[in-house]
Amino acid sequence: MGDAVAMPPEAETPAQSFPERLLGVFISPKDTFADVARKPGFVAPLITLMIAAVAVTEVMLWKIGAERIVRMSMEQSGQASRMSPEQLDQAVSTGAKFTGIAMHIGGVLGAPIYLLLLAGLGILILNVIFGARVKFSTVFSLVCYANLVSLLSSLMALAMLLFGDPEHFNVQNPVPTNLGFFLNATEVSKPLYALASSIDIFPIWIMILLGIGLSEGTGRKVKPTSIFLVYLGFWALWVLIKIGRAFI
């Protein structure tokens, strides 16, 4: 009898590079998320999203300024109409000091905190609601990659800040991706404006990608549509809370 010939182990497919994954999120999300689920990694997308957030925040402070941001916020909320010009100027001056500091800090920490909350919700959906067993690092990686589409929103905001009229820039609603952008916040009811501003392309797009990505994280044991619908339910609850607060 001849000796058995040992077959060489099959070479493991290397993970896609970050640029490949970034492009894949837009053109082939299913294959890209399958690769992320196979070899998770969140550092590159997280840093990219943080840089984008810091860039928008710093350009906003440079082009518009903290005082103008505070003044616009008070005008939209209706607070300015209940103050004398002297009181408004004093409130704006005081608020600008805290707003500038808060925006600097928020630009750095806002993205990771938001992504951690979104990933925590993903763990709740997968491991508690659907009974899957997915590691947090995998879910966090998938969430970070799903949110890379928001880079388009950041680029749009930067373009409007740099090339548009800063006097008409709406800090709370900077890009024309929702119905609220086309409404005047001081002329329509607050609940209507809150609803219109919430109907935005990017949250829906991200939730669709989260459904695809987290499904791949479970080995497709949970359907993308099921995950998307649960995220949609939480999003709808958040919108209702925003509308309720607008009545106050």
pLDDT tens-place string over residues 69-114: 888 778 776 677 677 778 777 888 888 888 889 999 999 999 999 9
**Cβ neighbours for 121, distance < 8 A, ≥ 6 positions apart:** 231, 234
Query: Where do the domains of the chain lie?
Result: 18-246
For residue 6, the model assigns a pLDDT of: 55
Q: Which residue matches tokens 């630009």? A: 107
Q: Is the pLDDT of residue 164 over 80?
A: yes
**Cβ neighbours for 227, distance < 8 A, ≥ 6 positions apart:** 125, 126, 130, 210, 211, 214, 215
Kindly state the tokens that stand for 198.
């919430």
> Is the sign of the CA dihedral 204, 207, 211, 212 positive or negative?
positive
**Of 44, 49, 51, residue with least CA distance to 17:** 44
Q: Is the pLDDT of residue 169 over 50?
A: yes
Q: Is the pLDDT of residue 1 over 50?
A: no
Does residue 7 or residue 76 have the better pLDDT? 76
Could you tell me what percent of the chain has a pLDDT over 90? 64
pTM as predicted: 0.89
Q: What does the alpha-carbon distance between residue 112 and residue 115 come to, in Å, rounded to a whole number?
A: 5
Q: What does the alpha-carbon distance between residue 97 and residue 86 come to, in Å, rounded to a whole number?
A: 17
